[in-house]
Amino acid sequence: MKKIKTIIFLFMIFAFLAACNGKNEEDHSEHQAEKNIYYTCSMDPQVKEDKPGKCPICHMDLTPMKKDNSASNEIALSDQQIKLGNISVRTISETESSLVENYTGVLAVDQERMKTISARAMGRIEKLYFKTEGDYIQKNQAVYQLYSEDIAIAKQDYFAAYQQLSMPGDFGKNAKSMLNAAKQKLLFYGLSNSLIESIKTNSKISPYTTFYSTYSGYVSEITATEGSYVMEGAAVIKLVNLNSLWLETQVNVNYAKSLKIGQSAKLSFADYPNNEITAKISFINPEINPDSRLLLIRMEVPNPNLLLKPGMQAVARLTQSNLKGVFIPIDAVIREENATYIWVEKSHGIFENVMVETGAESNGMIEIKSALDPAKKVVITGAYAINSEYKFRKGSDPMAGMDM
Q: Is the pTM here over 0.85, yes or no?
A: no
User: How much of the chain is in helix, strand and coil states, percent to nearest 5?
Assistant: 25, 40, 35
Angle (CA) 57-63-66 rounded to 5° is: 125
Residue type at position 399: M
The Cα-based distances of 86 to 81, 332, 352, 363 in angstroms read: 8, 12, 17, 22
Residue type at position 350: I
Query: How does pLDDT run across 3-56, given as a tens digit for each residue?
Result: 555 555 555 555 555 555 554 444 444 444 455 677 777 677 667 787 888 888
* Cβ proximity of 123 and 147 under 8 Å: yes
φ/ψ bin of 329: left (φ > 0), alpha (ψ from -120 to 50), beta (otherwise): beta
* Cβ proximity of 341 and 356 under 8 Å: yes
Neighbours of 247 (CB within 10 A): 27
Provide the CB-side half-sphere exposure for 151 (13 A, CA).
27
**Backbone φ and ψ of 188, nearest 5°:** -65, -35
- Report the run of H or E that residue 140 belongs to, with start and end: none
Neighbours of 164 (CB within 10 A): 16
How many angstroms separate the CA atoms of 266 and 263, rounded? 10
Angle (CA) 272-277-280 rounded to 5° is: 140
Looking at residue 397, its pLDDT comes to 59
State the Cα torsion 89-94-95-98 to the nearest 10°.
100
Q: pLDDT > 90: what percent of the chain? A: 34
* Cβ proximity of 280 and 263 under 8 Å: yes
Looking at residue 117, its pLDDT comes to 93
Q: For residue 297, is pLDDT > 50?
A: yes
Looking at residue 32, its pLDDT comes to 46
Listed range (79-83, 254-258, 281-285) with the worst mean pLDDT: 254-258
Query: How does pLDDT run across 117-147, given as a tens digit for each residue?
Result: 999 999 999 999 999 999 999 999 999 999 9
- Report the run of H or E that residue 255 belongs to, with start and end: helix 253-256
Looking at residue 164, its pLDDT comes to 84
